[in-house]
Amino acid sequence: MPSWAAVLDLVRAISARRVEPAHRLLLGRLVMYTGIAALFPVVPLYVRAHGGSAADVALFVAGPMVAATLVQIPAGHLVDRVGRKPILVWSTVVYAALCGGLFLNWGPLWLLAVWRAGQGAAGGAYGPALRAALADLTPAGRRGHRYAQLQACEMVGLLVGPAIGGAIALWRYSGIFAATGVAVLLSLAALTGLPETRGMDTAPEPVGQAGSASAPDVPAGSGPEQVPDRSAAPPGGWWVHVPLLVPAVTLAAIGALFSMYDVVWPQYLLVRGYDTLVIGLSISIFAVPILALAGAGGRLSDRSNRRVLVPVGLVVVAGCAATYPALRNIFPILAVGLVEASAFVVLEPTLFAVISDWAAPSLRGRAMGAGGFFYGGGSALGAGVLGALYGIGEPLPFLAGAAGCLVVAVVCAYALPRRAPHPELPHEHLVAVPADAEMV
């Protein structure tokens, strides 16, 4: 279904009182992300209003990103140790409380920067809990679709939130933190009645032993991946497995490329003679295919050979990135952007679906934390290193980002699992830990 239809499906479910737990999570994320996205255009103005320099603005923007990245893995451990719902609730409460501090301007600018970094840490903790809970509530073979719905909700929030933030900033810059805090707290209502899913997996129970008469027949070539026995997992190295490490590294590569655009894209278009209005419109136009095709991308993720789907998407994204330096007119630039967005729509949902499919439920929070760490680390690298390459030569950041995507495309073509484990067949998850070591 189109991405907008995914959001309308939530509205219909609520009106018919058919809200599933996964719907609650998606609805909460939609409300929360709309409030968070409202901060994006206002934060630099907030810092300037407090007498901050350009370096202070960078600190306010980069600080939360760094904090969100660093907290991913420890937060993933907590998600597996204390449960999904406590982390979802308390990270939300902490984020809202810090919004209050920023709204009331508690302390000098450096302390406000600390509050802002704390928000990044709270948001970073929320991510592994959200993705792990969605995986718990969704059978293997449907998780690509579910993560595409999540991407759709975030995209709607990204489109709506900045306009709300700009309107509130007409009153006072700090007012946006109050509005964001309210939106974040409202998202807690969606968690009411949400079950704790730690240790729970909704995939159907095995009908029989593999190869036995009670096991269902599966056409040749359509069954699950051959999964090594759990004893193959090296002690203390649960994440050093191809179905977890390859998608995590791939997330780092696409995170680096697209965060590079955050730094380079405005400069790239300004040099070509276009103003900030065109720059903003170009970003909004990039979002259109993501909104329109997220549902189709989710279905492709669940039904297609991922070892083909992901490399093809990466090659298209890399080709588009390498093309930009040669373009001067806005219309071919926008056309290439539409193609790039159409390929990007399948990547993130598929990669997180692979991680969720191949991590045992007892390790799912940590696996999602590791994926988020690589994604956030790649984003920081793209903004800091690839963005800086623009000052040396305009083509360099585009070509470097494209090269990274091509490298991981080759790796994915050889190593990414082809399909999700079949939900009706018994299978051992690739990563697991002994019961007495799960909380280490």
- CATH number where 386 lies: 1.20.1250.20
Asked whether residue 197 is assigned to any structural domain, the reply reads: no
Nearest-Å Rg of the Cα atoms of the chain is 22
Find tokens 């159907």 and name the residue. 204
Nearest to 94 by CA among 60, 65, 66, 117: 117
Nearest to 25 by CA among 224, 226, 187: 187
pLDDT reported for residue 424: 40
pLDDT reported for residue 204: 39
182 and 240, same domain (yes or no): no
Nearest to 119 by CA among 43, 68, 54, 195: 68
333 and 284, same domain (yes or no): yes
For 367, what's the count of Cα atoms within 13 Å in the CB-facing half-sphere?
A: 35
Q: Which residues contact 180 (CB under 8 A, 6 or more apart)?
A: 35, 36, 38, 39, 99
Find the domain containing 134 and state its range: 3-191
Tell me if 227 sits within 8 A of 417, measured CB to CB. Answer: no
239 and 110, same domain (yes or no): no
Tell me if 60 sits within 8 A of 116, measured CB to CB. Answer: yes
Distance of CA 127 to the CA centre of its chain: 8
pLDDT reported for residue 37: 85
pLDDT reported for residue 360: 81
pLDDT tens digits for 140-163?
Answer: 878 888 888 888 888 888 778 887
343 and 281, same domain (yes or no): yes
Stated length of the chain: 440
pLDDT reported for residue 62: 79
Q: Which residues contact 386 (CB under 8 A, 6 or more apart)?
A: 256, 257, 259, 260, 263, 264, 397, 400, 401
Report how far residue 380's alpha carbon sits from residue 58's, in angstroms, rounded to the nearest whole number: 12
pLDDT reported for residue 190: 85
431 DSSP β-pair partners:
359
pLDDT reported for residue 49: 86
Produce one character per residue of 276-298: b if its CB has 16 or more CB atoms within 10 Å, e if not: eebeeebbeebbbbbbbbbbbbb
185 and 276, same domain (yes or no): no
129 and 263, same domain (yes or no): no
180 and 251, same domain (yes or no): no
Asked whether residue 225 is assigned to any structural domain, the reply reads: no
Give, in degrees to the nearest 5, the angle at Cα 294 between 290 and 297: 115
Q: In a 3-state reduction of DSSP, which class is residue 275? A: coil
pLDDT tens digits for 255-313?
Answer: 999 888 877 887 888 888 887 677 767 777 777 887 788 878 888 888 889 999 999 99
pLDDT reported for residue 219: 35
- Count of domains in the chain? 2
Report how far residue 419's alpha carbon sits from residue 427's, in angstroms, rounded to the nearest whole number: 13
Asked whether residue 371 is assigned to any structural domain, the reply reads: yes
User: Angle between the 364-381 and 347-357 helix axes, to the nearest 10 degrees?
Assistant: 150
pTM (2 d.p.): 0.78
Report how far residue 430's alpha carbon sits from residue 239's, in angstroms, rounded to the nearest whole number: 10
Supply 225's token pair: 């991946």
160 and 272, same domain (yes or no): no
Q: In a 3-state reduction of DSSP, which class is residue 431? A: strand
Report the largest interatomic distance among the alpha carbons of the chain, rounded to a whole angstrom: 74
| Distance between first and last Cα of the chain | 41
User: Angle between the 109-136 and 21-37 helix axes, to the nearest 10 degrees?
Assistant: 160
Asked whether residue 143 is assigned to any structural domain, the reply reads: yes
Tell me if 265 sits within 8 A of 279, measured CB to CB. Answer: yes
Which of 167, 191, 215 corresponds to the end of one domain?
A: 191
40 and 186, same domain (yes or no): yes
Supply 110's token pair: 């450096």
22 and 116, same domain (yes or no): yes
Asked whether residue 222 is assigned to any structural domain, the reply reads: no
428 and 288, same domain (yes or no): yes
359 DSSP β-pair partners:
431
Tell me if 72 sits within 8 A of 378, measured CB to CB. Answer: no
Please name the amino acid found at residue 350.
Answer: T
Cα dihedral 225, 231, 236, 241 in deg (nearest 10): -20
Report how far residue 27's alpha carbon sits from residue 367's, in angstroms, rounded to the nearest whole number: 24
pLDDT reported for residue 57: 80
Stated as kind and residue range, the H or E segment containing 271 is: helix 242-271
Tell me if 291 sits within 8 A of 156, measured CB to CB. Answer: yes
CA distances from 408 to 29, 239, 256, 368 (A): 30, 18, 12, 19
171 and 61, same domain (yes or no): yes
pLDDT reported for residue 227: 39
Tell me if 74 sits within 8 A of 395, measured CB to CB. Answer: no
Which of 159, 191, 223 corresponds to the end of one domain?
A: 191
Asked whether residue 90 is assigned to any structural domain, the reply reads: yes
pLDDT reported for residue 433: 39
Which of 136, 165, 191 corresponds to the end of one domain?
A: 191
Asked whether residue 215 is assigned to any structural domain, the reply reads: no
pLDDT reported for residue 72: 92
Asked whether residue 241 is assigned to any structural domain, the reply reads: yes
Q: Which residues of the chain register pLDDT less than 50? A: 1-3, 15-16, 203-235, 423-440
Q: In a 3-state reduction of DSSP, which class is residue 359? A: strand
Supply 412's token pair: 């994915």
Report how far residue 88's alpha carbon sits from residue 74's, in angstroms, rounded to the nearest whole number: 14
